[in-house]
Amino acid sequence: MRTDIAQTVRLEDYRPSDFLIDRVDLDVRLHPTATRITATLSLRPNPKGRADAPLTLDGDEVSLKAVALDGRALPESEFEASPQSLTITQPPRGPFTLTIETEIDPTSNTKLMGLYRSSGNYCTQCEAEGFRRITYFLDRPDVMAVYTTRIEAERDEAPVLLGNGNRVEAGSLEGTSRHYAVWHDPHPKPSYLFALVGGRLGRVAKSFTTMSGREVELAIYVEPGKENRADYALDALERSMRWDERAFGREYDLDVFNIVAVSDFNMGAMENKGLNIFNDKYVLASPETATDADYANIEAIIAHEYFHNWSGNRVTCRDWFQLCLKEGLTVFRDQEFSSDERSRPVHRIAEVKTLRARQFLEDSSPLAHPVRPIQYREINNFYTATVYEKGAEIVRMLKALIGPADFRRGMDLYYERCDGTAATVEDFLAAFADVTGRDLSHFARWYAQAGTPRVTVKGTFDAAARTYRLDFTQETPPTPGQPTKEPMAIPVALGLVARDGSAIEAVSDRVNAEGVFVLDKASDSLTFTGVSAHPVPSLFREFSAPVKTILDLSNEELLVLLRHDSDAFNRWQAAQTVAMRLLAARSTGKAIADSDVADLATALRAFMETDALGDPAFAALVLTLPSEADIAQDIGRDVEPDMIHRARKEMRRRIGQACIETLRHFRDSLSATGAYSPDAASAGRRALRNASLDLLAAADAALGETLAREQFETAGNMTDRLAALSTLMTLPGDAREAALARFEESYRDEPLVLDKWFTLQAMIPEDGTLERVKRLMEHPGFSMNNPNRVRSLIGSFAMLNQVQFNRQDGSGYDFLADIVLRVDELNPQLAARLLTSFSSWRMMETKRRTHAKSALSRIAGKPNLSRDVSDIAARSLAEQQGQ
Ligand code: BES
Ligand code: ZN
């Protein structure tokens, strides 16, 4: 456990490293408990650094065995070593070589940072600051070196040895049971992209010819016996590579691209140069074990990590404040890929749902921070929805502002200028400013200012003048450290819709060729001329900016959009807005007219009867009401989770009853014929069929149970089986328990499937759930050491079960606090993530708020907390300025 006082790192304190490292030669002798690493570093003073500075290398729990300078063993008087650092007090003024021998214990490494073992295999995770747990190093992304890695191991224990770059040598150690491989990566890289793997692994491979005709061997390594479950990931990799060539002109740059799937991993996956390491959840898929959502995630994450080869690896970050430079941009790139491979509007809706559920939530919480933070105590806590999702939205807005052609030219210039360097957000924006000749300094506020802007829009129709005027105002609420805000540059993609659905050819000189109006002042307005009838405005089409909007449209007008808008995103949004208004009112004890619910139900039924089968995936989204967490966020204060739950359940019953014949028809007629295929169209039909089943069960529990049981028994794939089980979860009784038992019997030896079983049970919105979760922690398939198990059972309880986590008696909070403290001793990163489920505690009603605060205070007051957990606890508790 770290004992150091948490130091704050500030962007304004950035200075270049005093030393550079040009080459790193590593010799790693793998051993379960005593791995030896000899690192030979070619160092020189950085011309941009301070002269006469000592050399201080970072370390973390490493044990130093020997250190030599230019081949001369250093006496203890010439260096200072601790597990956290190694300082050479008087280093040479010119180039020199430092040889460092360290020993580490991969078996007892439960933090899963640095070198560790997973199912007996050796693997590494170095981002952000894990390399220092392998050897002492200048562990910062602006120190870029060429690495050569020799890995040696028992041949039996680790027949497969992988490193970054290309394999240049391999062989046996004469007269021993050991063997070795040497890997060389010619591309200079920061230490966080270093990786090695040693173990017993199965392999699938195929070869790929790049756009310039180079041959690349693509391979995925998995647990032996699971090779056929990697085929989809391999196919997704090939499609990603082709797409990056086509969409961005980016080609792969090594002879091999390896992916290794491991079962113990803190994150989803990691983009190490030429050797991506993945959480096996995002590689392994078969129709029997993975759902449509799993397939879509695999495709997106394979793409994401591959795309980092350019946006992250060839051009990396100068410092960790620039994290969005690689993560936001790469999320944007993977979103575009998925949109091209699947359905763009459906994918956009899914992106916005996640953005609102995670980023808007974070932005309204005590953990709110700018997309480019200016300070941190623990960088691991800044791999957030804000950096990732809002970071991607900024890139999307930039493209909307300058248009696709200039966007591509700017990207090309950015890659060309910054290739091989560690860059900043300023470098990124400069490329677009230079190709367009535009001043992007106002736009750059998106990186600096936290909080979700609120845009209020009012429309005025003047029948005599045939004009329609839109008045906009914007404001951004205060966030920690930022009490007052400047106006943002907000692209508003918009159009007008006639009430009968006909197109309106209105014009305004404030709207550009792409249909975008830029709101960059606190208030502004635009007027359309030639408008003959009172239109309904369709604003923020395709969700053109990450803002909250307050529109003065009636429910009736919104339902016109649901029916007639040419923008699919806004059709979906219109139904969501109407439902949200009703749900938020009901959840806060306000009366709503019965006819309002009936109107929504009628509109949804009409939509389903006429349009749903044209795009089933879209229809399934329209049928899905805002989640309980969405409603809580919309209400924003004095939230009563039980009222929200009841209101939502009741509305689902009403809508289900109004549409029961259509739902029945969908559920019966959309059945799959033939073999399972994970493609978007087939997945869309399953989505509509399963959404129909779930609504049917809300309308008629007995019918729902019969249908769900039947589907559970006969399903030919995991998507349909899990959907049926999920519907059964809403229906307390023996059928549900019997199905759960059957599922456990069938999949107890499939950890990734068992995770789904844990999650469904953790989400049951009933009083017994906390006890059930505690019982499940005793299940032989559960382990506190495995992040996937912990997240699927405990993480789901805390993040996805609004009513039971936020129990009024505080027992949900106390339970989570206990778990966080236990997990912190094993894996601080995982503990800190779990703890973020408290982030919205301030919006609860007073009883819950009091319980949450005391649970958080109990955590914060515990001695010897990790920096990860103490940072989240402290920020969650901090009094917010201006609120
Ligand atoms: N570079 C990250 C992985 C990472 C995150 C390493 C945090 C260390 C700390 C990787 O590229 C990534 O972003 N992974 C995401 C999945 C992605 C599709 C958004 C993840 O792991 O969740
Ligand atoms: Zn990433």
Q: How far is the CA of 866 from the centre of ligand 2 (A)?
A: 24
pLDDT at residue number 2: 42
- Residue tagged 């575009």 (tokens): 336
Category of 261 on φ-ψ map: left (φ > 0), alpha (ψ -120 to 50) or beta: beta
Percent of the residues in the chain that have a pLDDT greater than 70, as a whole number: 99
Q: Are 631 and 643 contacting, i.e. CB atoms less than 8 angstroms apart? A: no
pLDDT at residue number 498: 95
pLDDT (mean) for 330-351: 98
816 lines ligand 1 (CB under 6 A): no
Residue nearest to atom 1 of ligand 1 (CA): 270
Catalytic residue among 227, 305, 362, 557: 305
Q: Where are the alpha helices (DSSP H) in 174-267?
A: 231-248
| Alpha carbon separation from 614 to 324, 618, 776 (Å, rounded) | 37, 9, 42
pLDDT (mean) for 430-451: 98
Given a cut of 70, whether residue 731 has pLDDT beyond it is yes
Catalytic annotation present for 737: no
- Contact partners, residue 159, CB within 8 Å, separation at least 6: 179, 199, 200
Residue nearest to atom 3 of ligand 1 (CA): 270
Given a cut of 80, whether residue 832 has pLDDT beyond it is yes
**Which atom of ligand 1 is closest in space to residue 380's alpha carbon?**
9
Q: Tokens representing 181?
A: 């491989």
Considering every ligand atom, which ligand is closest to the CA of 267?
Answer: 1
Q: How far is the CA of 383 from the centre of ligand 2 (A)?
A: 9
pLDDT at residue number 695: 98
Burial of 716 (0-12, 13-18, 19+ CB in 10 A): middle
Nearest in space to 451 (alpha carbons), one of 477, 473, 487: 477
Q: How far is the CA of 305 from the centre of ligand 2 (A)?
A: 6
Among 178-192, 243-257, 428-442, 494-508, the least confident range:
494-508
Given a cut of 70, whether residue 800 has pLDDT beyond it is yes
Category of 421 on φ-ψ map: left (φ > 0), alpha (ψ -120 to 50) or beta: beta
**Which atom of ligand 1 is closest in space to residue 130's alpha carbon?**
8
Q: How far is the CA of 308 from the centre of ligand 2 (A)?
A: 7
Q: Which helix (H) or strand (E) holds 9?
A: strand 9-10
Q: Tokens representing 644?
A: 């929200």
269 lines ligand 1 (CB under 6 A): yes
Beta strand spans in 463-540 (E):
467-475, 490-497, 516-519, 523-529, 536-539
Per-residue pLDDT tens over the stretch 653-668:
999 999 999 999 999 9
Nearest in space to 870 (alpha carbons), one of 859, 880, 858: 859
**Which atom of ligand 1 is closest in space to residue 268's alpha carbon?**
21
CA-CA distance, 604 to 458, in Å (whole number)? 26
Res. 674 pLDDT band, cuts 50 70 90: confident
Q: How far is the CA of 270 from the centre of ligand 1 (A)?
A: 6
305 lines ligand 1 (CB under 6 A): yes
pLDDT (mean) for 760-773: 98
**Which atom of ligand 1 is closest in space to residue 300's alpha carbon?**
18
Nearest in space to 261 (alpha carbons), one of 356, 194, 197, 175: 197
pLDDT (mean) for 691-700: 98
268 lines ligand 1 (CB under 6 A): yes
**Which atom of ligand 1 is closest in space to residue 279's alpha carbon?**
21
- Residue tagged 């349009």 (tokens): 611
Considering every ligand atom, which ligand is closest to the CA of 330?
Answer: 2
Q: Which amino acid is at 560?
A: V
Q: How far is the CA of 630 from the centre of ligand 1 (A)?
A: 25
620 lines ligand 1 (CB under 6 A): no
| Alpha carbon separation from 276 to 248, 260, 326, 686 (Å, rounded) | 21, 6, 16, 32
- Residue tagged 């003065």 (tokens): 552
Considering every ligand atom, which ligand is closest to the CA of 114?
Answer: 1
Q: Which helix (H) or strand (E) holds 819?
A: helix 811-826
DSSP string, 557-580: HHHHHHHH-S-HHHHHHHHHHHHH
Considering every ligand atom, which ligand is closest to the CA of 271?
Answer: 1
Positive or negative CA dihedral for 822, 823, 828, 831? negative
Res. 1 pLDDT band, cuts 50 70 90: very low
Q: How far is the CA of 157 from the centre of ligand 2 (A)?
A: 31
pLDDT at residue number 3: 43
252 lines ligand 1 (CB under 6 A): no
- Contact partners, residue 593, CB within 8 Å, separation at least 6: none
Q: How far is the CA of 537 from the centre of ligand 2 (A)?
A: 37
Q: Are 320 and 14 contacting, i.e. CB atoms less than 8 angstroms apart? A: no
Burial of 247 (0-12, 13-18, 19+ CB in 10 A): middle
pLDDT at residue number 446: 99
CA-CA distance, 845 to 840, in Å (whole number)? 11
Given a cut of 50, whether residue 627 has pLDDT beyond it is yes
Considering every ligand atom, which ligand is closest to the CA of 193?
Answer: 1
The order of strands in the sheet holding 256-262 is 202-209, 215-222, 256-262, 275-279, 269-270
Res. 882 pLDDT band, cuts 50 70 90: very low
- Residue tagged 């208030």 (tokens): 523
Res. 430 pLDDT band, cuts 50 70 90: very high
Pairing label, strands 9-10, 375-376: antiparallel
842 lines ligand 1 (CB under 6 A): no
Res. 514 pLDDT band, cuts 50 70 90: confident
**Which atom of ligand 1 is closest in space to residue 829's alpha carbon?**
9
308 lines ligand 1 (CB under 6 A): yes
CA-CA distance, 241 to 210, in Å (whole number)? 8
128 lines ligand 1 (CB under 6 A): yes
Burial of 339 (0-12, 13-18, 19+ CB in 10 A): middle
Considering every ligand atom, which ligand is closest to the CA of 127?
Answer: 1
Q: How far is the CA of 60 from the centre of ligand 2 (A)?
A: 24
304 lines ligand 1 (CB under 6 A): yes
pLDDT at residue number 883: 40
565 lines ligand 1 (CB under 6 A): no
CA-CA distance, 530 to 507, in Å (whole number)? 7
Q: Are 164 and 257 contacting, i.e. CB atoms less than 8 angstroms apart? A: no
- Contact partners, residue 329, CB within 8 Å, separation at least 6: 311, 391, 392, 395, 428
**Which atom of ligand 1 is closest in space to residue 305's alpha carbon?**
11
Residue nearest to atom 22 of ligand 1 (CA): 268
pLDDT (mean) for 263-276: 98
Three-class SS state of 309: coil
pLDDT (mean) for 58-77: 98
Q: How far is the CA of 326 from the centre of ligand 2 (A)?
A: 7
pLDDT at residue number 806: 98
DSSP string, 761-805: HHT--STTHHHHHHHHTTSTT--TT-HHHHIIIIIHHHHH-HHHH
Average per-residue pLDDT in the chain?
Answer: 97
Residue nearest to atom 17 of ligand 1 (CA): 301
The order of strands in the sheet holding 454-462 is 523-529, 467-475, 454-462, 548-551
Residue nearest to atom 20 of ligand 1 (CA): 268
pLDDT at residue number 5: 54
Pocket-testing residue among 383, 395, 830, ligand 1, by greatest number of atoms within 8 A of Cβ? 383
Residue nearest to atom 2 of ligand 1 (CA): 270
**Which contacts of 407-410 are long-range, i.e. CB under 8 A and separated by 24 or more positions?**
407/432, 408/248, 409/435, 410/434, 410/435, 410/436
pLDDT (mean) for 394-409: 97
- Contact partners, residue 3, CB within 8 Å, separation at least 6: 864
**Which atom of ligand 1 is closest in space to residue 327's alpha carbon?**
13
Res. 6 pLDDT band, cuts 50 70 90: low
> DSSP class of residue 810?
S
Q: Are 327 and 425 contacting, i.e. CB atoms less than 8 angstroms apart? A: no
